[in-house]
């Protein structure tokens, strides 16, 4: 599965979110998108699965313009894990996960559908919650169910908007490790928005940094996660330590943080809200 | 069917029904025949169909709007129907017969709010909030016009118009049943087929789109189906409140929120509720209270009790 963004721009009215982005992701690996709040990470992701239409530029999926895909055909190839889940009437965990079969299924749920759902719940360690109500779970468990559901869709490309946001350290690592293995072993391209630099560094095959309306840096964690880049992206001093062959980022508190933060206290265009 | 102002035993009821179904000669007196077959049978079946129709509309409306307060009338169907009926009654319009005119006007006007929303959806995305707000504004317009019509007409007309808005099974007859039953049945089949899409939409519009659902178009299809089903019920019975709101919630307590079970389950629940309420309506008074009053008066406390009792958080 190859996804190619060509000269992609997006703006809300006259407020630009990003401009002329070119990006090719052409092999099954774990790609992490990093960037400060409001950099347009979610919007960029929404342009990759038709949730939002870019202002200009084109997205190609396997060489075909994304616009030519119907939502249903796209759903067979690309799955999405939203940032948050807002259910009103919640179903059981298993039934929630089974909605992931929708693009493939006929009218009735088959034994095979249930087996796929169950297998993915097991993968996330959620099998014992299968018959519980979705709303009875914690935020972290919600996230795991949503990932299981996304896998149940059996996509070629998985997009995730901050899948580790509500997870404790152990599950952040487990989920990122799982996503890496999904990419490696199942041949699925996984693109995820991240905030934690160290977890990203540990598991990402490729890191894309979004800053100043463009792709600021793109490469392996070692190439991209540098003291300079982090200073520019977030305005924070840090020290990079090499651990297990990957950069480990120790963030430093300091006076320059104050001044930098103050400089940056201008209001930026918000983007990437779920329903913008 | 034994309950009512005219006493008939269970055995006699069965005899009349069997006689009719198998076309046997009847040994029973004519008046029993007529009460059972011409009055109570269509009334019972109307209660079943109306209850099922209102509940299936309510269940899908709540799931589609993701709003526990939604009911078949949320988008202004009831106010449209009232306005249509009140026009027909106060202006004395007659199509074939006077009651036929009332039914037809109620039906046509109850679809107006949905039509307005469908039109709006061409200019603005059909989100749940947009639909509810547009429905409410149309509702206010219709209510204002209804109130005006009632103010300017004489007391007797106003009373009969008012009575219509309460909802009653007193006008149930064999002639109205086939139309209502076939629309409710067809609509329910459509809603059951769409129930798995409703399940995905429950997780939010963005997610639903990424499993291949054109969410806005789906909402419009659902809205039209729900409107036609509830309009077909309302135009014959008037506005029977509460069943469409509560039957789905009661069903959720027992079956959960999976729309594949909720929708057919709600139909059974709605039919049962309306039949029980009708029995109550007939037992307490000789004139048979309008059922709209009974559903609300009995249903309210029962539902409050269920809200307190139930431990599982369905909402």
Q: What is the CATH number of the domain that holds B121?
A: 1.10.3470.10
pTM above 0.90, yes or no: no
CB B315 within 8 A of CB A88: yes
Integer Rg of chain B from CA? 20
A155 CB-side CA count, 13 A: 34
Taking residue B12's Cβ as centre, other Cβ atoms within 10 Å add up to 18
At the second CATH level, the architecture of A3-90+154-263 is 3-Layer(aba) Sandwich (3.40)
CA–CA gap between residue B57 and residue B49 (Å, rounded): 12
For A46, the closest chain B residue by CA position comes to: B206
pLDDT tens-digit profile of A42-56? 999 999 999 999 999
10 Å CB burial of residue B293 (0-12, 13-18, 19+) is middle
Assigned domain for B39 exists: yes
Enclosing domain of residue B304: 10-61+71-309
- The owner of tokens 């935020």 is A139
A51: closest chain B residue by CA = B206
Query: pLDDT tens digits for A88-135?
Result: 788 899 999 999 999 987 667 888 999 999 999 998 889 999 998 888
Contacts of B192 (CB under 8 A, 6+ apart): B260, B263, B264
Residues in chain B with CB shorter than 8 Å from the CB of A72 are 212
Percent of chain B with pLDDT over 90: 27
Find chain B residues with C-beta within 8 A of A100's C-beta: 211
Handedness of CA B167, B168, B171, B174 (dihedral sign): positive
Closest CA to B245 of B221, B220, B262, B270: B270
CB contact set of A198 (below 8 Å; sequence gap of 6+): A248, A249
The encoded tokens of residue B198 equal 């409703």
Residue corresponding to tokens 């949905």: B114
| Residue in A with minimal Cα distance to B200 | A99
Which of A49, A82, A95 comes nearest B199 by C-beta?
A95
- A30: three-class secondary structure by DSSP: strand
- The encoded tokens of residue B265 equal 């389950």
**Residue A276: per-residue pLDDT:** 41
Q: Which of A71, A85, A92 sits opposite B204 (nearest CB)?
A: A85
pLDDT of residue A96: 92
Do the Cβ atoms of B211 and A99 come within 8 Å?
A: yes
What's the number of domains chain B is made of?
1
Q: Which of A85, A89, A90 to mutate to test the interface with B (most CBs of B within 10 A)?
A: A89
Per-residue pLDDT, B27 = 54
Contact check, Cβ <8 Å, A133/B312: yes
CB contact under 8 A, A82 and B315: no
Contact call for A82 and B204, based on CB within 8 A: yes
Helices (H), chain B: 10-22, 30-33, 41-65, 77-90, 98-110, 112-120, 128-152, 155-166, 177-193, 195-201, 205-210, 215-237, 243-255, 259-284, 291-309
Cβ distance A249 to A198 under 8 Å?
yes
Distance in angstroms (rounded) separating the CA atoms of residues A241 and A227: 10
- Residues of chain B falling short of pLDDT 70: 1-8, 20-34, 94-98, 285-288, 310-315
Give me chain A's average pLDDT, please. 88
Contact between B58 and B181 under an 8 Å Cβ cutoff? The reply is: no
- Inspect the interface and report whether the beta carbons of B212 and A91 lie closer than 8 Å: no
CA A95 to CA B100: how far, in whole Å? Answer: 45
Nearest CB partner across the interface for B258, out of A70, A74, A95: A95
Instruction: Show contacts of A52-56: CB within 8 Å, 24+ apart.
Output: A52/A10, A52/A276, A54/A8, A54/A9, A54/A10, A55/A9, A55/A10, A55/A11, A56/A7, A56/A8, A56/A9
* Residues of chain A neighbouring B216 (CB-CB closer than 8 A): none
Q: Which residues of A touch B200 (CB under 8 A)?
A: 99, 102
The enclosing H or E element of A218 equals strand A214-219
CA-based nearest distance A246→chain B, Å: 34
pLDDT at A88: 77
Rounded distance between C-alpha atoms, residue B298 and residue B303, angstroms: 9
Low-confidence ranges of chain A (pLDDT < 50): 275-276
Q: Is residue B315 part of a domain?
A: no
Q: Which value does ipTM take for this structure?
A: 0.82
Per-residue pLDDT tens digits for A138-152: 888 888 899 999 999
């Amino acid at each position: 599965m190859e996804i190619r963004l060509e000269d992609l721009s997006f703006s809300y009215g006259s407020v630009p979110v990003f401009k002329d982005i070119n990006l090719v992701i052409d092999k099954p690996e774990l790609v992490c998108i990093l960037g400060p709040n409001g950099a347009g990470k979610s919007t960029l992701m929404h342009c990759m699965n038709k949730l939002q239409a870019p202002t200009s530029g084109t997205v190609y999926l396997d060489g075909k313009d994304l616009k030519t895909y119907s939502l249903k055909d796209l759903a067979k190839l690309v799955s999405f894990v939203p940032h948050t889940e807002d259910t009103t009437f919640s179903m059981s965990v298993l039934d929630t996960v089974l909605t992931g079969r929708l693009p493939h299924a006929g009218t009735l749920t088959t034994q095979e559908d249930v087996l796929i759902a169950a297998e993915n719940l097991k993968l996330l360690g959620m099998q014992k919650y299968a018959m519980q109500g979705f709303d009875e779970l914690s935020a972290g468990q919600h996230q795991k169910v949503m990932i299981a559901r996304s896998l149940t869709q059996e996509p070629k490309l998985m997009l995730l908007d901050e899948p580790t946001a509500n997870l404790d350290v152990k599950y952040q690592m487990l989920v990122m490790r799982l996503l890496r293995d999904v990419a490696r072993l199942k041949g699925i391209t996984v693109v995820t928005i991240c905030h934690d630099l160290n977890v990203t560094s540990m598991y990402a095959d490729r890191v894309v940094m979004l800053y100043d309306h463009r792709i600021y840096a793109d490469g392996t964690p070692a190439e991209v996660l540098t003291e300079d880049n982090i200073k520019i992206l977030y305005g924070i001093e840090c020290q990079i330590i090499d651990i297990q062959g990957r950069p480990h980022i120790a963030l430093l508190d300091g006076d320059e943080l104050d001044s930098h933060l103050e400089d940056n206290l201008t209001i930026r265009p918000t983007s990437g809200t779920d329903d913008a | 069917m034994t309950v009512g102002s005219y006493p008939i035993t269970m055995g006699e009821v069965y005899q009349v029904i069997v006689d009719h179904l198998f076309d046997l000669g009847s040994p029973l007196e004519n008046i029993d025949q007529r009460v059972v077959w011409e009055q109570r049978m269509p009334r019972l079946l109307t209660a079943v169909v109306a209850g099922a129709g209102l509940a299936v509309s309510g269940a899908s409306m709540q799931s589609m709007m993701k709003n526990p307060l939604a009911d078949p009338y949320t988008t202004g169907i009831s106010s449209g129907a009232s306005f249509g009926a009140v026009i027909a009654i106060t202006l004395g319009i007659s199509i074939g017969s006077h009651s036929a005119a009332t039914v037809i006007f109620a039906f046509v006007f109850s679809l107006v709010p949905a039509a307005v929303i469908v039109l709006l959806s061409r200019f603005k995305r059909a989100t749940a909030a947009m639909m509810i707000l547009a429905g409410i504004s149309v509702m206010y317009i219709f209510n204002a016009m209804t109130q005006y019509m009632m103010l300017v007409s004489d007391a007797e007309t106003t009373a009969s118009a008012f009575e219509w808005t309460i909802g009653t099974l007193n006008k149930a007859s064999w002639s109205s049943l086939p139309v209502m039953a076939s629309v409710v049945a067809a609509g329910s089949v459509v809603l059951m087929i769409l129930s798995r899409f409703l399940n995905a939409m429950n997780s939010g519009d963005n997610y639903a789109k990424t499993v291949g659902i054109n969410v806005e178009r789906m909402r419009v299809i659902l809205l039209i189906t729900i409107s036609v089903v509830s309009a077909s019920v309302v135009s014959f019975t008037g506005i029977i409140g509460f069943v469409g709101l509560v039957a789905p919630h009661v069903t959720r307590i027992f079956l959960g929120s999976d729309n594949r079970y909720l929708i057919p389950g709600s139909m059974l629940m709605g039919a049962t509720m309306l039949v029980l309420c009708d029995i109550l309506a007939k037992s307490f008074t000789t004139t048979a209270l309008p059922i709209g009053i009974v559903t609300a008066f009995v249903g309210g406390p029962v539902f409050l009790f269920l809200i307190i009792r139930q431990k599982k958080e369905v909402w």
